[in-house]
A and B are shown apart, each in its own frame.
Chain A
């Protein structure tokens, strides 16, 4: 068995979808090339952008940072990073420490924001409440609010997240299965909001399968936080992911075709299904909100947080 590109016998991946065999160097190059292709095709970066990387310390965000940093080295963009500490005991601190070390290694501005400091409550404390709505509901909303705020404070023009092919396909299928056509219009490589306080979000790893990102960080010896969120098992996303992975075993191109299919209908979906929101302000925190309270503040009110 030899690398399909250079003939090196030390093959580290056999791509199920194409049958291609790659050695370590050719594999690393192929990932970086593909991400750069997505960035170009989807026009994710503009010269002079300041990109805030949402850096958890996990494989996806570390890979996003690593590849975007090549643009910083070429003086095309500037980079800063934010890490959200949700307050999950025996899980989050490992990722925070790794994120800090990557920011130091690259010499980029980085801040860690905790739910405790921002809202006076940790995710663990929320999950002890009888009336909670499930961990991912709070985590997603609070994290998004904190990252948006950090982007404004740090003067970022784009927010880069580590969403990979598996995440995107799960998002497409979850929203479809739930009949959530409004959320379905919000997926994609680049999401812009009409409210200018919401910074443009980009997903450079959107076409890279999750396993290949895992292989990339191991091949490049990047320090990452490989651990399981203790609340992950409870999510609908986990169930959807399992079904898609099962299907992929006999249909190895199914994730790509789901993404391609979605991209083809996205324009029509947006035109036909996207809701027009009021662009008011949250009474409590002043963040942009369609309702009296933004999502984060309505959760905080329910939880009785000041």
Chain B
């Protein structure tokens, strides 16, 4: 069970570690703040409570850089 993560120049397949694994869990794992990121699931904007499914493409867009 894996999904494709796109973030800046990074593009990698990642395992889904458990059931009901959300984008918020992913952001925590990557040590990114939900305040500075917006997320897309298969090209559509979603909220961080969204559960990641097998073969999803999850794109994280950093919108705030502090300056």
Contacts and interface: CB of A to CB of B under 8 A. Distances in A.
Contacts of A227: 65
B65 A226 contact: yes
A228 B66 CA distance: 7
Interface of B: 33, 35-36, 38, 44-47, 49, 61-67
A210 B65 CA distance: 11
A12 B38 CA distance: 9
Contacts of B46: 10-12
A226 B66 contact: no
Given A14-B47, A215-B63, A218-B38, 19 more contacts: A1-B47, A12-B45, A14-B49, A21-B47, A59-B63, A211-B35, A211-B36, A211-B38, A214-B63, A215-B38, A218-B63, A219-B45, A226-B61, A226-B62, A227-B65, A228-B66, A231-B67, A232-B66, A233-B67
Interface of A: 1, 10-14, 21, 24, 59, 210-211, 213-215, 217-219, 226-229, 231-233, 235, 237-238, 241-242, 245, 248
B63 A232 contact: no
Contact of A226 (B33, B44, B63): B63
Contact of B64 (A214, A219, A233): A214
Main secondary structure on chain A at its contact with chain B?
helix
A232 B61 contact: no
B22 to A, nearest CB: 12
Given A211-B36, A218-B38, A229 B65 contact: yes
**DSSP majority for the B interface?**
loop
Given A215-B38, A245-B35, A232 B65 contact: yes
Contacts of B63: 59, 211, 213-215, 217-218, 226
Nearest to A58: B65
Contacts of A226: 61-63, 65
Given A215-B38, A218-B38, A245-B35, A24 B64 contact: no
Contact of B67 (A12, A14, A213, A232): A232
Contact of A218 (B45, B47, B65, B66): B45
18 contacts: A1-B49, A10-B44, A10-B46, A12-B46, A21-B47, A24-B45, A211-B38, A211-B63, A215-B38, A215-B45, A217-B63, A226-B61, A226-B65, A227-B65, A228-B67, A229-B65, A232-B66, A233-B67
A233 B63 CA distance: 16
Contact of A233 (B35, B45, B49, B66): B66
Contacts of A214: 38, 61, 63-64
Contacts of A232: 65-67
A238 B62 CA distance: 17
Contact of A238 (B33, B44, B66): B66
A16 B49 CA distance: 13
